[in-house]
Amino acid sequence: MDLSAKRLNVIEPSPTLVITAKANELKKKGEDIVSFGAGEPDFETPTHIRDAAKKAIDKGMTRYTAVSGTPELKEAIVRKFKRDNGLDYEKNQIIIGTGGKQVIYNYFLATLNAGDEVIIPAPYWVSYADIVRLSEGVPVIVNTAADNNFQITPEQLKKAITPKTKCLILNSPSNPTGAAYPKKDLEALGEIVLSSGIQVMSDDIYEKIIYDGFTFSNLAMLSPELKKQTFVINGVSKTYSMTGWRIGYGAGDIGIVKNMDTIQSQSTSNPSSISQAAAEAAVGGDQACVEEMRKAFEERRNTIVALLNAIPGVKCNNPQGAFYVFPYLTDVYKTPGFERLLKESSEKSLSKLFCNILLEKYKVAAVPGIAFGEDQALRLSYAMGETDIKRGVERIAEMIRDLNQ
């Protein structure tokens, strides 16, 4: 009897989690690994948030909550949307789930029918395409250009829309490139969204990690009409260094929220009651910790971009946000040393081969760009101290020097 369901044929384990697990395993064995793999801030969760969780346990908030989240956390999220984005939502337009990832999954399960198309600008976050496939939708990948700051152009969007298009995914700032859409570029896309009537899933999870005075916008903030067509996803993982607490949330159409609630009620029920109390302190409490972490990320970004661009053959963008860089190794892949390795290996993906050797021989974990739809690049997460950034980039430089021999 075949015990694996056919739906597994259309998805893969998340490559970022695979690389992170491999790096952690090697670290446990005592190897000195520098890991640019994991997409999580390295800071402790701020004290006032941890204290709120401890209090929640002591007060006995250890039982099931409403499936879509506690009224208190929903109120804090409603206030957050008003405070940060000038957006008005009712509590019944909010759903809280076990991480932004679950909210995104429930959104697509709740909105897609078999064959519905979802436009995903590439490079894209690893999970989008697989979540769409699991929901019986069809990912339509649109390649963006590094010299257009990895943005889908209005012309590209127009061309990609068909009668089967249900949704466009926008993720700004982006994982994996860190690129963010300025308001005027969103306005141009917004016109097409309005005239075509498609939905937009706006993944704002990196909203607060932005640099050089960049002003964050999303489509819902542009007009009441666009707000109706936009479903906003956000969460506490990245903003408050709370990846393990697993709280994400979505806001949008009441009917969609209700359907997501139904799906959640038959799968996980409510997210952890204690994590919800902590998230309430995070979203509704003092925001000074957010600026402290943001500043540290900005300094690290400056360091890593400069170091990478100093390596011959590496071309690294200067991201406006998130904590990733997406350097292109196009010239490195053309070196005789790398071509020789490619010939000898059964691995056909350039970025996978590079990352395999980088980890095995040079003890640095990075995620192959192919996982995000771009084999010419790598994704490095710089959520680590400056010393480790320098050590890790020096090892990448050493590998590239060796390939040039």
Ligand X SMILES: Cc1ncc(COP(=O)(O)O)c(C=O)c1O
Binding residues vs ligand X (CB under 6 A): 39, 99-101, 125, 171, 175, 203, 205, 235, 237, 243, 248
Which is closer to ligand X, CB of 174 or CB of 351?
174
Output phi, psi for 389, to 5 deg.
-60, -45
Which is closer to ligand X, CB of 38 or CB of 140?
38
Rounded least distance, CB 371 to ligand X, Å: 12
Nearest to 399 by CA among 347, 348, 327, 346: 327
Which is closer to ligand X, CB of 46 or CB of 100?
100
Rounded least distance, CB 283 to ligand X, Å: 13
Please tell me the number of Cα atoms within 13 Å of 240 on its side-chain side.
27
Which is closer to ligand X, CB of 40 or CB of 394?
40
Rounded least distance, CB 11 to ligand X, Å: 16
SS (H, E, C) the chain: CCCCCHHHHHCCCCHHHHHHHHHHHHHHCCCCCEECCCCCCCCCCCHHHHHHHHHHHHCCCCCCCCCCCCHHHHHHHHHHHHHHHCCCCCHHHEEEECHHHHHHHHHHHHHCCCCCEEEEEECCCHHHHHHHHHCCCEEEEEECCHHHCCCCCHHHHHHHCCCCEEEEEEECCCCCCCCCCCHHHHHHHHHHHHHHCCEEEEECCCCCCECCCCCCCCHHHCCHHHHHHEEEEEECCCCCCCHHHCCEEEECCHHHHHHHHHHHHCCCCCCCHHHHHHHHHHHHCCCHHHHHHHHHHHHHHHHHHHHHHCCCCCECCCCCECCEECCECHHHHCCHHHHHHHHHCCCCCHHHHHHHHHHHHHCEECEEHHHHCCCCEEEEECCCCHHHHHHHHHHHHHHHHHHCC
Which is closer to ligand X, CB of 128 or CB of 362?
128
Rounded least distance, CB 341 to ligand X, Å: 30
Rounded least distance, CB 190 to ligand X, Å: 20
Rounded least distance, CB 239 to ligand X, Å: 10
Which is closer to ligand X, CB of 157 or CB of 279?
279
Residue nearest to ligand X (CB): 99
Which is closer to ligand X, CB of 205 or CB of 377?
205
Which is closer to ligand X, CB of 156 or CB of 237?
237
Which is closer to ligand X, CB of 205 or CB of 307?
205
Output phi, psi for 4, to 5 deg.
-105, 130
Rounded least distance, CB 202 to ligand X, Å: 11
Whether 374 and 122 have beta carbons less than 8 Å apart is answered as yes
User: Which residues contact residue 70 at a Cβ distance below 8 angstroms, ignoring those fewer than 6 apart?
Assistant: 96, 273, 276, 277, 280
Rounded least distance, CB 235 to ligand X, Å: 4
Rounded least distance, CB 138 to ligand X, Å: 20
Rounded least distance, CB 252 to ligand X, Å: 16
Peptide bond into 173 cis (omega under 30): yes
Which is closer to ligand X, CB of 101 or CB of 352?
101
